[in-house]
A and B are shown apart, each in its own frame.
Chain A
């Protein structure tokens, strides 16, 4: 089991580029695909504000922040995959808050110009192309699309309802009285369906 990512705000010892290089070299194919899948789902949180950033961009951005110290990798507390997942989550959440607070429209040219600054993150500068109303409409359509995919799968539908209600996975499992294996099998179907 992986040690899960924790918020990694700058603090403590910063991993050296040599340590980061070694950690990247040591990643297995499963690690890379886990990161890509994690970034894929986390990135969907941004909805239309993703502006072409794919999962690999999100992973690369997490790595850059690790190198320059904006995200500290606490090697004793979390493995490298867990650290990157934590960094991706923080970035995406941070940007989501920015979008909510300031849905101003920015241009692609702004984005490209600003990313030349070594300290800027494309995520921090994502254009907010859609208005609040458009984003809400897209979110509604996406939730409906996901629900439709599983309208014949009662258990997955219940999981979707549970998440939509704001429950965590373990809480849903407990509320439904299902085993861990049943929960994981249903989540697997949900992941596969959404990615299709």
Chain B
């Protein structure tokens, strides 16, 4: 009995699979004629489906952007939460960043455009830059525990 039930379903599946297969092989003219016979408005329904699919792509992009934004906010939060001891005065901080760049020229290449002109950085930006480097472990690596805050 169970076999018989499966057999009936399999027969139907085989027939509709054969039909689907034939759709893949039919000419464009046949496809359009059949759609028309099925009551479709050729252009209208094609454009409606195109719009639906483009909307799906757009929604997916927005979803990815939102996810990227969330990741960014998390990363910024993580930098903020990292405890980094920095020198107290602005000249000392500028001296510290010079020292880092001297020891690790590769870090200079990684700094974003925002940070590249170091002399033009405001004290606030300079502190942000150092905190980022601290969160990345560069301060510990270059200066060691004793060098920081000197």
Contacts and interface: CB of A to CB of B under 8 A. Distances in A.
Interface of A: 1-2, 4-5, 17, 20-21, 24-25, 27-30, 32-38, 41-42, 44-45, 47, 56, 59-60, 63-64, 67-68, 82, 85, 89, 96, 100, 118, 132-133, 135-136, 139-140, 142-143, 146, 159-160, 163-166, 168-169, 184, 187-188, 190-192, 194-196
Given A25-B50, A60-B53, A166-B14, A33 B32 contact: yes
Interface in B1-51: 2, 4-6, 8-26, 28, 30-32, 34-35, 37-38, 40, 42-43, 45-46, 49-50
10 contacts: A1-B25, A20-B57, A21-B57, A27-B46, A27-B50, A67-B60, A136-B6, A184-B25, A187-B26, A188-B26
A136 B5 contact: yes
Interface of B: 2, 4-6, 8-26, 28, 30-32, 34-35, 37-38, 40, 42-43, 45-46, 49-50, 52-54, 56-57, 60-61, 63-64
> Which of A32, A36, A166, A169 gathers most chain B CB within 10 Å?
A32
Contacts of B34: 33, 37, 188, 191-192, 195
B39 to A, nearest CB: 10
Contacts of B38: 195-196
A165 B24 CA distance: 21
A92 B12 CA distance: 14
Nearest to A5: B24
B13 A45 contact: yes
A190 B16 CA distance: 10
A172 to B, nearest CB: 8
A11 B14 CA distance: 28
Contacts of B8: 136, 139-140, 143
Given A29-B46, A32-B45, 5 more contacts: A33-B45, A41-B17, A42-B17, A163-B18, A188-B26
Given A1-B25, A5-B24, A45-B13, A190 B19 contact: yes
Contacts of B2: 132
Main secondary structure of the interface of B (DSSP, over half): helix
Contacts of A100: 6
Contacts of B42: 29, 33
Contacts of B14: 163-166
A185 to B, nearest CB: 10
A187 B10 CA distance: 19
Given A29-B46, A56-B52, A34 B16 contact: no
A164 B15 contact: yes
